A and B are shown apart, each in its own frame.
Chain A
């Protein structure tokens, strides 16, 4: 028995209808691609169906009963998300399309100019690199980044040179989607704040796994923006979250213009609503918000500390299993306590696509490629990798199936 697994794991698995799916050849699904997207519990599916069946109407514009119900459900979802991340104010929670849009929003509206610089890191997902490169190209600001150490940590040795008094924002990930590294959010945030810079955290991989409580962080260590996506926290696609400090959000210019984000519109000019509606132009993803609300509620009921403990236990078991295979090299930290649940690895002599293809023929779903983190792969001189990522519903038996599957793959390609 492995310590730390979720209590009643088999019962929890019953919450996820897709886990009963049989694949070609009547093989059971072994889903190890949760860092890509998580599976959805019945309660999320039901909440969305119920909303569409019984409460559907546009929000904030309809003066009828359904409109009131729909608006209440949408705003209730905001409350649930605020509680999930311990947001100091619910008005700091802006609904976006996904985490990419949340980061792009900030990169679009943050005033930047020549002489300013923006700092990111080499371990970011492309969505926390490209929006900043675009912002720098538009504004003439300089794009800088923190490199990585050989063991897959942020290289903070030159941090005081990279982050200086001209740094406007430091944007970095809490948990790497490729290396699994958990970054020192509080420490780096304090450094950035000391230099007068803002901080944006990409919490796409952290929000599903780690308890987040912004309120309890001391203000100098608390990021100014935090972005994550709904579909990785057991919610639907099509909805993401940007949390921002309310005073900042109210100061920044709007992102998209349209309905809902205004105060008064005349042909001569327009004044804008305060956050969050300031950044929610047009009809928002209403049923997706309802689904996300149900998802974070579900995680709250399981308890994020328990989810985190489960993730660490399964990740440790996975790392132990991979260590038994000759010719398999894990990228990133080898200690489960220091990392998230996405484990990328190389299999000597077999390309990741071929690994993934062989595993798929046994019903095991993993990701192969660069995982939208090409610079991080380049840093370790790896062209592509295979990534297995667990979640709260992953069982040790599924990890066993993966390890056997990799051994089978090595035999198939005659590399062992």
Chain B
């Protein structure tokens, strides 16, 4: 019996120790960053492909996709080394630029990416009154010639809120969205959504966000997320 236990222990020891040969250290250096305009992070739809990392000098040129969160921050775990952080031109809701930032990663590193969104959403405020969520914001056109298609107050059932996954209230609240043509951008834009309609009454959690659609640009611009029911 003892012999059996010993042999099991020996086998286990061999099994565990021999693993080391084909293992290598995982990447440990963290690259953090933000997508900024005038010092403020730009809100986007989570998961869109706007940034890529490449490391020159290797045989292949396969880029590493950088996942950007909806608040415009990102982080990647990398090996130490020199990288190029490339904006994928035209995929984000901002002026296309194919700028490349040289990033030298050595331990924890942080980098800011500056973009010029077609519109910025300023002075955002949310409030819930009488079971109606109300928002106010000031839109600023940053790129001449870009037309506003619509601005909407959208709601989601998780903290990740974007236009494709939003909840559609039935009936829709006419005050929750405004078309862009003829909208006076000098005044604050007020939007509201009645919460007493299906399916907003039945969801246990509810989060709100302002979304701005620019004509001809598939990706929308977003404000920060406001917890309505959490």
* Same complex: no
**Chain A interface (Cβ < 8 Å from any Cβ of B):** none
**Chain B interface (Cβ < 8 Å from any Cβ of A):** none
